[in-house]
Amino acid sequence: MSIEYYLANNKKYYVSVTNTLPLDGYAYVSLFNDNGEVLLKDIKSSYDIGGSRAAVSNDGKLFATAAYSRKGVDLRDSNGDLVWNTKEIKKVQGLAFSSNGEYLYVWNGDEPEHTYYVRILDGKIEKRIVASWIEPNKYYDDLIFDKRNSVIIGGKKVKSPSFTYLDAVTTKEGIIVSPVGKDLMMYDYNGNLKWVSNFVKDNKYNHIIQLVEDENYLYGLSLDHTVYRINTLSGDCESIKNNIKFIINNKTYIDINDNFIKDFN
């Protein structure tokens, strides 16, 4: 059994997915408030092993889970009631809500990978593009990660320094990306490189797998469960906490034993 966590962009809600497969063919989805103290709802939902197959809408009113198998994609409200299910997209690998609240982005594991624009209103597929995934952006147009070797920023294609990105986060100044085996990098919204961090240089063979932004800093969770505080102006990193599994915000996190902790210090 494993637990995975997914956070709403507004940091007010998150869901945890407890994977019980192959015991009963489902997973148990728990909707919590932002500090993890209040369980809002516990739901049995379609889900399958592998990939980031859950997402929460920005307002916390909807969440989606998906399965690699024939169970497809479920959209549910915060009461746990099923809004719709679609089985049209196969081999689901990831989900994200669009910034404008109109679409659920669904990407799959076909070759080449496709990202589908599924209408939240009725679950219908409006279009699909050849892209590995799309990153919602609360400051600018949503960012398209194209064929695992580039990202489209403001209509400009920026080539990736690695074969894929582990995570990305947007700030008012630009986008920070975490390419596999490379340094953290920040681009402005014209696609210009602003800085390269010291993370990989100081942490060889490690990776940043989760990025969380707050008003003052960027927080990065590494593969070895260490949290780094990153200066968004310079890219300088400092380690601040070990044995962390998931970052909720700048004060709250979940440790490797699935305990909710309120203070980094």
> What CATH number belongs to 165-265?
2.40.128.630
Q: Are 218 and 212 within 8 A, CB to CB? A: yes
Mean pLDDT of 214-220: 84
Q: Is the Cα torsion angle 20, 119, 121, 72 positive or negative in sign?
A: negative
CA dihedral 135, 239, 6, 30 (to 10 degrees): -170
pLDDT higher than 60, residue 152: yes
pLDDT for the residue numbered 122: 95
Q: 4: which strand partners?
A: 17
- Report the range of poorest mean pLDDT among 12-21, 28-37, 178-187, 216-225: 12-21
Give the predicted TM-score (pTM) of the model: 0.79
- State the Cα angle at 33 between 107 and 124, rounded to 5°: 30
Q: What H or E segment, with its residue span, contains residue 166?
A: strand 165-170
pLDDT higher than 80, residue 45: no
The topology under which CATH files domain 1-136 is: Methylamine Dehydrogenase; Chain H (2.130.10)
The C-alpha atoms of residue 99 and residue 96 are separated, in whole angstroms, by 9
Confidence of residue 49 (pLDDT cuts 50, 70, 90): very low
Per the structure block, which two tokens stand in for 210? Answer: 């989760």
Between the alpha carbon of residue 229 and those of residues 144, 247, 259, the distances in Å are 26, 12, 21
Sequence-distant (6+) residues with CB within 8 A of 49 are 19, 21, 68
Write the pLDDT tens digit of every residue in 62-113: 888 887 766 778 898 877 788 998 888 888 888 899 999 999 999 887 767 8
pLDDT higher than 80, residue 171: yes
pLDDT for the residue numbered 252: 77
* CATH 2.40.128.630 residue window(s) in the chain: 165-265
* CATH 2.130.10.10 residue window(s) in the chain: 1-136
Q: 78: which strand partners?
A: none
Sequence-distant (6+) residues with CB within 8 A of 195 are 185, 186, 233, 234, 235
Which residue did the predictor score with more confidence, 1 or 26? 26
- Output phi, psi for 201, to 5 deg: -55, -40
